[in-house]
């Protein structure tokens, strides 16, 4: 049994995907579709037939969205920028947390004359956890493929968030810097006394990056109207 409401909703979602259409724009197109459905129903078409014809006359959702986007180039950047800042804030917050724990350990350690084993653990945790967390968030984001981000801009948040994390890093930790700057990372791998750590994170980077590339290349599944 054909469900007109569901079909309308699906079409609306496809049009809303690119973010180029505002709520008013969607309402306007929906009104147009309803007018068309009424006219076709008067000619004796079934709901399903009428919807198929009306949707076809309205045009391919992606093509319509492209036309709208021409008039509103800024709208299509809103969602990627939101995801960029969300990702960067998460990673920076995590780094700040570990950093606070480090300071706390250091001050408590000095006062009670503890040994600094925990401190070392935290230094390493930070150096590995921050990039790992970043890659994990990036991977989750790519997997989720938020509908509001245009497919062509899916990479934007990853690059922008990475830049924000590197710029926003409030202090300089050589090991962490090495892991956030790929060029430096390669240099460290070749020169560091601790080749194991540099090599291990290089492998980590490479494999997650490869995985993300594969995900990005996979065609986005999209329901077809007709």
The site for other proteins (CB under 8 A) is made up of 24-25, 27-29, 31-32, 34-36, 57-59, 63-64, 67-68, 70-71
In the complex, the smallest distance separating the C-beta of residue 67 from other proteins, rounded to whole angstroms, is: 4
Query: Of 131, 158, 132, 160, whose CA–CA distance to 145 is shortest?
Result: 158
Say if residues 159 and 134 touch (Cβ distance below 8 Å): no
For the record, the structure tokens of 170 come out as 């409030």
Closest to other proteins by CB, 68 vs 134, is: 68
Grouping H, G, I as helix, E, B as strand and the rest as coil, residue 4 is: helix
Distance CA 16, CA 12 (A): 6
Residues recorded for the chain: 226
Kindly report the backbone phi and psi dihedral angles of residue 147, in degrees, each rounded to the nearest multiple of 5, phi listed first: -65, -25
In the complex, the smallest distance separating the C-beta of residue 12 from other proteins, rounded to whole angstroms, is: 12
In the complex, the smallest distance separating the C-beta of residue 34 from other proteins, rounded to whole angstroms, is: 6
Closest to other proteins by CB, 55 vs 164, is: 55
* In the block, residue with structure tokens 């990673």: 91
Closest to other proteins by CB, 34 vs 210, is: 34
Closest to other proteins by CB, 22 vs 85, is: 22
Distance CA 107, CA 115 (A): 12
In the complex, the smallest distance separating the C-beta of residue 3 from other proteins, rounded to whole angstroms, is: 21
With vertex at residue 65, the alpha carbon angle to CA 62 and CA 69, rounded to the nearest 5 degrees, is 135
Closest to other proteins by CB, 71 vs 170, is: 71
In the complex, the smallest distance separating the C-beta of residue 28 from other proteins, rounded to whole angstroms, is: 5
């Amino acid at each position: 049994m054909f469900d007109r409401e569901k079909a309308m909703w699906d079409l609306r979602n496809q049009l809303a995907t690119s973010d180029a259409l505002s709520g008013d724009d969607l309402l306007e197109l929906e009104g147009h579709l309803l007018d068309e459905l009424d006219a076709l129903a008067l000619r004796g078409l079934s709901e399903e037939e009428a919807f198929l014809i009306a949707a076809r006359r309205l045009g391919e959702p992606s093509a319509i969205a492209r036309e709208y986007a021409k008039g509103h180039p800024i709208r299509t950047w809103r969602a990627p920028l939101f995801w960029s800042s969300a990702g960067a804030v998460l990673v920076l917050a995590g780094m700040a947390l570990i950093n606070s724990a480090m300071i706390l350990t250091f001050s408590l350690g000095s006062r009670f004359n503890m040994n600094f084993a925990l401190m070392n653990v935290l230094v390493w945790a930070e150096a590995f956890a921050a990039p790992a967390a970043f890659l994990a968030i990036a991977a989750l984001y790519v997997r989720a493929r938020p509908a509001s981000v245009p497919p062509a801009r899916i990479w934007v948040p990853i690059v922008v968030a990475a830049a924000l994390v590197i710029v926003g890093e409030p202090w300089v930790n050589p090991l962490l810097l090495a892991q956030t700057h790929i060029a430096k990372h390669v240099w460290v791998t070749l020169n560091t006394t601790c080749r194991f750590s540099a090599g291990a994170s290089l492998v980590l980077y490479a494999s997650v990056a490869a995985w993300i590339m594969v995900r990005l290349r996979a065609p986005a599944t999209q329901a077809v109207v007709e």
